[in-house]
Structure formats: structure tokens, C-alpha cells
Amino acid sequence: MASSSLMMQYSMGSVAATTTDIIRLQDWVPAILSKRKASWGYLTRIFEGGRVFYNTALVTEQDIRQIWTEERLQKRTQRFFTLGTALGGILDIPSAHDFARAISHITLDYESLIAADVKSKSPFNIDYLITLASLCDAIFQVYDKLLTHHKKDQVWQATTLDSFQKADTRFKKVMVTIYKDLEALARDIMTDELNSVDPLGGLFSHSATQDDDSESQY
């Protein structure tokens, strides 16, 4: 936790990273890389279909396609496609410094694309589920390569750490968006399953929701 806080302060320019600080941060990096790699790998498997989402609900490809239609998510699909394609094009960069810097630039461009709210220029609709699975796999490969670099180099330069931290923060925003959608879908699936077993389940669920809303006001 201390290393993570130090990295955030350094990237914001509020502190100057000393040699000792940089060495301390090296212990934090592999743990984060391994955690992110596992999370993105898990998401990739979820979007391949037929997986239980965190032991709550079985999420199938049919469930996903019923909720996330291409018409509804066409803009997001195009953005994810652009991000995934860009990441796939830099996986062969040999040095950790150049690789981390390229990732940082790509994720910054991605956020600029969102801010500009540019309409898709694609002449055809891109499949959201396939695009999402491909993006998750691409980001998984990014973290896998970063982890390989760190194991080989042991110590990254301050500029490499800075580029990595910025890219990691942007990737986390993408992950949060995806997880929110999955959690909402899992809740719907569980509610439907409960209602099919107990006709009063919907009544209890509705009552519980009202209670939660009432409690949230205080």
C-alpha cells in the first residue's frame, strides 16, 4: 500500500523519486502485474461463455448477447476495437521502457477518443462480444509481457514506472466499466432463477430493493 501511494505521488509530481524509492517500488510492480494479468485472463474466459461469474451466476454467450446488443453498444464496441488493435500492434516492442511508454500513449489516445465522442466511421457493425473478448486477451498479453520484462530487468527506470502507472490507471477504468456490466447481468440472471423456483421471489426481491433504497437515504 505504501509503495502504491508513493507511485501515485511521484506520477503526480508531488514527490521526487529517489533511488531508494524506485527500488522500493519494484516490490510493488510484480504483485500488481500478476493481479491484473489474472483479472484480465478471467474476463477473457468469461466472455468465451459458459462460465460462472464469481460463483454467483452462470453467464452464457446467449445471456450476454440478449443484454448487450450491437445497436446499443456500437460506439463502445468501436472504441474497444480501436484500443485492442492498437495494443496488439506494440506487443513486439523489445524494451520495457519503450513498451510501457507506448502503452501509456495508446491508453491516453483512447481516453481522448472517449472525450471527443467521435462517431464510428466503420462501414459495418463490429461484434461486441468478440471485440470485448479480444480486448481482454490483448490487455492480458500486455500485462504478461510487462511481467516478463520486470522479471528480466528486476529494476525499472523511474520513467518506465511512471508510464506503467498511468497506463494501469486507465486500464482499471476500462475494467470497472466491464465489471459493472457483468455484475448487473449476473444479478438479473440470479433474480430470474430465483423467480423461476419461487414465484414470490420477485416480491421479496422488490421489497428488499425498496428497503435498500430507504436505508440509503440515511
Domain assignment of residue 84, yes or no: yes
Domain assignment of residue 208, yes or no: no
Which residue has better confidence, 181 or 205? 181
DSSP strand pairing (57-59 vs 51-53): antiparallel
Residue owning grid cell 440472471: 189
Domain assignment of residue 91, yes or no: yes
Domain assignment of residue 212, yes or no: no
pLDDT at 150 over 80: yes
Rounded CA gap, 71 and 75, in Å?
9
Rounded CA gap, 28 and 54, in Å?
26
Region of residue 122 (phi > 0: left; psi between -120 and 50: alpha; otherwise: beta): beta
> In this predicted structure, what is the pLDDT of residue 92?
95
> In this predicted structure, what is the pLDDT of residue 9?
46
Residue range 118-139, pLDDT digits in tens: 665 665 678 888 898 999 999 9
Domain assignment of residue 36, yes or no: yes
Domain assignment of residue 205, yes or no: no
Domain assignment of residue 28, yes or no: yes
Q: In which domain, by residue range, is 142 found?
A: 2-8+16-192
* DSSP assignment string, 65-97: HHHS-HHHHHHHHHHHHHHHHHHHTTTT--SHH
Q: What percent helix, strand, coil does the chain show, rounded to 5?
A: 75, 5, 20
Q: Report how many helices (DSSP H) and strands (DSSP E) the chain contains, helices first.
A: 8, 2
Count of domains observed in the chain:
1
Domain assignment of residue 216, yes or no: no
pLDDT at 203 over 90: no
Mean pLDDT of 162-177: 94
Residue range 8-37, pLDDT digits in tens: 444 433 434 455 666 677 778 889 999 999
Rounded CA gap, 142 and 109, in Å?
17
